[in-house]
A and B are shown apart, each in its own frame.
Chain A
Amino acid sequence: MARYDRAITVFSPDGHLFQVEYALEAVRKGNAAVGVRGTDIVVLGVEKKSAVKLQDSRMVRKIVSLDNHIALACAGLKADARVLVNRARIECQSHRLTVEDPVTVEYITRYIAGLQQKYTQSGGVRPFGLSTLIVGFDPYTGVPSLYQTDPSGTFSAWKANATGRNSNSIREFLEKNYKETSGQETVKLAIRALLEVVESGGKNIEVAVMTREHGLRQLEEAEIDAIVSEIEAEKAAAEAAKKAPPKET
């Protein structure tokens, strides 16, 4: 049994933790996920693998709620996600039980990141192969937040971020186009960002919005399709305006 105690995640001679870096590779292969924070709303969007015809799509929920005011989307190994989400949900309730207060977004992010870190420094286990985007509202101040964790166990707060496949392109797009938005504008921004790398159409994207009053709401395919058409119309109008030189003086 002693042989299995050796840590799988050990330092390389040049200071890398290869297992963690390989885990990040696994994340890069996962479905794209994007999160945007608005002034009164937070939006999560995830790429959905196109129509697997026989699968019951209701079962595959990629955006999950951890508590009434906190939601999570992730990219990477979905099985690892299940375990992590379960532990986070237990921690949310446990926190409510012991301190009679709902968790803050930062607390639960710190907890999940701590869990991910533990598995980079224990014997015989491998790191979790997923990065998470955690959104929510502070239970008392109502301030919205977006956090990201990764397999190494680091976490930080973001105004908008993406993870998973082609996350660099999405992040570039967000950097260019981000501005403080609220309500439907935030949703549009998130979907526009996701459309950079995903085939357009409601059936390829899963979007959920969270507001202070109504908690997490998954958008229907029809709603997403409507917003996508709006975005495409705007894009077409912008293209037309560019092509036709402005004649007004």
Chain B
Amino acid sequence: MVLDSHKLIAASGEPGDRVQFTEFIQKNVSLYQFRNGIPLTTAAAANFTRGELATALRKSPYMVNILLAGYDKETGPSLYYIDYIATLHKVDKAAFGYGSYFSLSMMDRHFHSGMSVEEAVDLVDKCILEIRSRLVVAPPNFVIKIVDKDGAREYAWRESVKDTPVSSA
């Protein structure tokens, strides 16, 4: 989901926790911006998210894995890996879930630093291909979102099962 104008959050895990936690983070990031007049940096948002997960960990943990992507004017794009036990790591590439076994291998093979948008989307497509062919319970549809200096936005869909429009009676 779009966290703010220049941040994206991708989350997987327990559905209830996933929705509640990410929406909670989103509203707190908004609140910070209204209180202080400037948006949080990606690093700050990632650390805040990790802090919330850590606090809840030994009471009532959120079973949510998060990838937080953002663009800061001063430091450029960054990606953070935050797992459900509040591990925080700044990375260049990451994946969660059963599909990660295949995605990470594809990334190991094809990733290099300084990739262009087209190359990166191409790598994502390669991962999607692997997931579709190797996973027994592969999800049919994927959405690709991008964040760069112009903001966070939806880029493309990769659908293998389209929504059928409901015919009116």
Decide if A89 touches B35 in the complex (CB within 8 Å). yes
Residue pair A97, B35 in contact (C-beta under 8 Å): no
Q: Hey, which chain B residues are within 8 Å of A96, CB to CB?
A: 27, 30
Tell me, yes or no, whether B24 is within 8 Å of chain A by CB: yes
| Residue B23 at the chain A interface, CB threshold 8 Å | yes
Is A168 among interface residues, defined by CB-CB distance under 8 A? no
Task: List, in ascending order, chain A residues with CB within 8 A of B28's CB.
Answer: 93
Decide if A65 touches B27 in the complex (CB within 8 Å).
no
| Residues B35 and A93 in contact, CB atoms below 8 Å apart | no
A89 touches B27 (CB 8 A): no
Asked whether, in the complex, the Cβ of B23 is within 8 Å of the Cβ of A66, the reply is: no
Interface of B is mostly: helix
User: Does A25 make an interface contact (CB < 8 A)?
Assistant: no
Q: What is the CB-to-nearest-CB distance from B37 to chain A, in angstroms, rounded to a whole number? A: 8
Is B34 a contact partner of A66 (Cβ separation < 8 A)? yes
Query: Looking across the interface, which residue of chain A has its beta carbon closest to that of B37?
Result: A61
Q: For residue A86, which residue of chain B has the nearest CB?
A: B35
**CB distance B24 to A65 under 8 Å?**
no
Give the CA-CA distance A94 to B27 in the complex, in Å. Answer: 7
Residues of A60-76 at the interface with B, using a CB-CB cut-off of 8 Å, are 61, 65-67
Task: Known A-B contacts: A86-B35, A93-B28, A93-B31. Give 11 more (CB < 8 A).
Answer: A61-B37, A65-B34, A66-B34, A89-B31, A89-B34, A89-B35, A90-B31, A93-B27, A93-B30, A94-B27, A96-B27
Q: A residues bordering B, Cβ < 8 Å? A: 61, 65-67, 86, 89-90, 92-94, 96-97
**Contact sample, A vs B, 20 pairs, CB 8 Å cutoff:** A61-B37, A65-B34, A66-B34, A67-B34, A86-B35, A89-B31, A89-B34, A90-B31, A92-B34, A93-B27, A93-B28, A93-B30, A93-B31, A93-B34, A94-B27, A96-B27, A96-B30, A97-B23, A97-B24, A97-B27
